[in-house]
Amino acid sequence: MVKLEKGSYDPIYRLYQSWQYFYPLIAAVLLDEQDGVVYVDDADQPTQAYVEHAFGFAQIFGARVDKFEQELKQYLLHDQPFTPAKVRLYTPHLPDYLMSPEYESLRSERQRFHITDEDFSRVRSADNAVSSDISFDSADASNIALIEKKFGVVNRFWRTPEDFIRKAHTVVVMYQGQMASICYAAAEGDKRVEIDVMTLPDFRNLGLGKHAVMEFVERCLAQSLQPLWDCFTNNSGSMMLCKSTGFVAAHAPYPFFTINKPSPEKSG
């Protein structure tokens, strides 16, 4: 495996744009919009790549290279020198070794959803009532500190509060004047944005998450951005919310591996 330096990601991004399974969090690393690392099989003529976001989301893509995949096995499952506490590995492309029963405990299942203008318009026209208790806000310099205090998401993926304000397309739902729910882009790449949504415990079961998502999707579509939703298939709340707002499955569920880095006590 060869680690690429920032400034040399363009060929890998072009390769990724043509890949069937595109995740904005991976694209954001390749665009140097968010932090992470990139490894390839060959620095001069790369055909397979591994991208790891600083938050831990990661993906393997490109034409299969046996030597590269074996080196990646050593990196992920044995040496584990990665910086995040855990690697969250998207595997629509599944290396053979991960199919071993030995790693079954690391495996779960996720599904990708997308939305069209037509599907969103249908849902919006059928359910457009907003209570007078509800209003919408965006992120700006006046409220960014409070957003971080309430939700803790400002620096989860984006490098700075300023990046979050400018690039996350944030919708904050205010309920009776209080911040209650948020929907924002965890990342953006190739005009596609990764949805993240959260409702504070005191305001759940009021339908506020749906209002946040609907407003977020409407704003994105108006800017020709394609919202994408990705979640665990056993997360019934997330699955129900995305479908209720007009999202449909982009493809069948895919395997997802969570690889925890050993704690210093265990590794020592």
What predicted TM-score, i.e. pTM, was given to this entire model? 0.93
Q: Domain of 89: which CATH number?
A: 3.40.630
Which pLDDT value is given to residue 120? 93
Tell me what pLDDT residue 118 has. 92
Shared-domain flag, residues 104 and 130: no
End-to-end CA distance of the chain: 26
How does pLDDT run across 102-116, given as a tens digit for each residue?
999 999 999 999 999
Tens-place pLDDT, residues 211-253 = 999 999 999 999 999 999 999 999 999 999 999 999 999 999 9
- Do the bridges between strand 134-137 and strand 107-114 make them parallel or antiparallel, or are there none, so unpaired? unpaired
Q: Count how many domains the chain has.
A: 2
* Confidence tier at 128 by pLDDT (50, 70, 90): low
Q: Which CATH number fits the domain that encloses residue 126?
A: 3.40.630.30
d(CA 167, CA 162): 8
Query: Which range is least confidently modeled, 142-146, 182-186, 237-241, 264-268?
Result: 264-268
Q: How far apart are CA 96 and CA 107, in angstroms?
A: 14
- Residue 130's pLDDT is what? 83
- Domain range for 154 is 116-246
pLDDT on residue 265: 56
**Do 42 and 144 fall into the same domain?**
no
71 and 192 belong to one structural domain: no
* Residues 125, 9 share a domain: no
List strand residue ranges (DSSP E) for 65-159, in order. Answer: 86-90, 107-114, 134-137
pLDDT classification of 133: cutoffs 50, 70, 90: very high
pLDDT band at 124 (very low <50, low <70, confident <90, very high): confident
Same domain, yes or no: 123 and 242 = yes
**What integer is the mean pLDDT of 5-12?**
94
Q: What percent of the chain has pLDDT over 90?
A: 93
Q: Which tokens hold the place of 85?
A: 């506490």
